[in-house]
Amino acid sequence: MAAISREYVLKALANLRDSEDGRSVVERGMVDHVSVCEGHCAVRLKAPDVAELRDGLRKGTQHVVRALGQELGMEVKAVEVEFIAPEATVDQPADQPMKQAAASPTNRGGTVQPGSPSIPGVRNIIAVGAGKGGVGKSTVALNLAVGLARQGHGVGLLDGDIYGPSVPTLLGLGDMELSLLRDRVQPFFVHGIKTMTIGKMVDPEKPLIWRGPMAHGAFKQITEQTDWGELDFLIIDLPPGTGDVPLTMAQLLSLSGAVIVCTPQRVAQDDAVRAARMFQQLNVNILGVVENMSWFIGDDGKEYDIFGRGGAEQMSQRLGLPFLGAIPLNMQLRANCDNGNPTANFTENPPISKAFDTLVERVQQEVALATQTSGPTLTVN
Ligand code: ADP
């Protein structure tokens, strides 16, 4: 049985109507956020803090979602409903959806409560995560950042992988030294993006062993003490797996959403599903899934599906998550990463630049969609 998707949850909510004026919660702009993972639905509604009213809305939401699931033969395992105060929302001008995505204190799905501090001047924050290490999470985060910057956006890349920072290598930071201005750490500016990494604050040879509270403190410090200035997008390269850093991030920051990187194999998919569940638990909107190392182009020009091309795409369909594109396994891409030269992926490598350009487009579309979905102007037909 297919699991219900976010689109169908929104359709169900269009059936939840006010008994007096007959308008649905969607028409009344009460839907703040919807996320769905394998039949688990999380809905956040804007409603006054009146127990009776909220209780009715909770029961009504659960009823309409389950009823539509039953009608369409779609699996609904659980429907969680939470509330925020209506005045917490900032109206979003329709012509500026991208800029509004993270500027709104109500956020796009993070656990940050209205009014919590995010990063001043940073409009959209996107986390890039993976269920396991080595699937190309940092590679995707970096090239997403560089690709967005090449389109004229102001972009930052935060190396949130505090256990194994790879940004110094990937961006060729070499001997560059940290600098402070008015007590704030200045980000490095390379390949058109600003970046900060804990790899430049600690001995690169030493293993980084952080216990929970230390990991929390390290991530918080590097995020808040960096002088990011004005950014359209801040991309956060998360550590692999599910752990302290994503939790801290969701508590601390107002996110536009998360991108999950996965290779096609079954074992990688299983880990990616765990990552998706983690984001869902943290109330972080998932922008979609990227399939890395999807296929390999040999010297003979033929394409080889070494790991089973399409596996991650199928997984994203199963979970009802958007698919953001596939990146081939490519020796030049690996060499450019090792040499700290991501710009070459866009200038000297047509199959790779095409793949990353598609990813950049899709991510922007999903961020815009997330903004509309959670904004007060939402309409569902
Ligand atoms: P993660 O962040 O998931 O641990 P990385 O991004 O550090 O993974 O990638 C691991 C290694 O795989 C790096 O050497 C990187 O250059 C290489 N790599 C990642 N994606 C590709 C790809 N599509 N083609 C070739 N090499 C890749």
Average pLDDT along the chain, 381 residues, taken 10 residues at a time: 84 89 91 72 85 92 94 87 69 29 35 55 94 94 96 94 89 87 87 91 70 78 90 94 82 91 92 91 92 90 88 92 96 94 93 96 94 46 31
Asked whether residue 95 is domain-assigned, the answer is no
Span from the CA of 194 to the centroid of ligand 1 (angstroms):
21
| Parent domain of 27 | 6-84
Span from the CA of 340 to the centroid of ligand 1 (angstroms):
13
At residue 88, the pLDDT reads: 55
Nearest atom of ligand 1 to the alpha carbon of 133 = 4
Tell the residue nearest (CA) to atom 4 of ligand 1.
134
Span from the CA of 213 to the centroid of ligand 1 (angstroms):
29
* Same domain, yes or no: 109 and 136: yes
In Å, what is the CA distance from 367 to each residue of 65, 142, 363, 370? 24, 18, 6, 5
The pocket around ligand 1, CB under 6 angstroms, is made up of 130, 133-139, 166, 240, 292-293, 327, 329-330, 333-334, 337
Which of 31, 53, 84 delimits the end of a domain?
84
At residue 91, the pLDDT reads: 33
Tell the residue nearest (CA) to atom 10 of ligand 1.
134
Span from the CA of 168 to the centroid of ligand 1 (angstroms):
14
Q: How many domains does the chain have?
A: 2
CATH value at residue 52: 3.30.300.130
Span from the CA of 245 to the centroid of ligand 1 (angstroms):
21
At residue 33, the pLDDT reads: 75
At residue 102, the pLDDT reads: 33
Summarize pLDDT for 282-323 with one digit per residue, the tens: 889 999 999 999 999 887 878 899 888 989 999 999 999 999
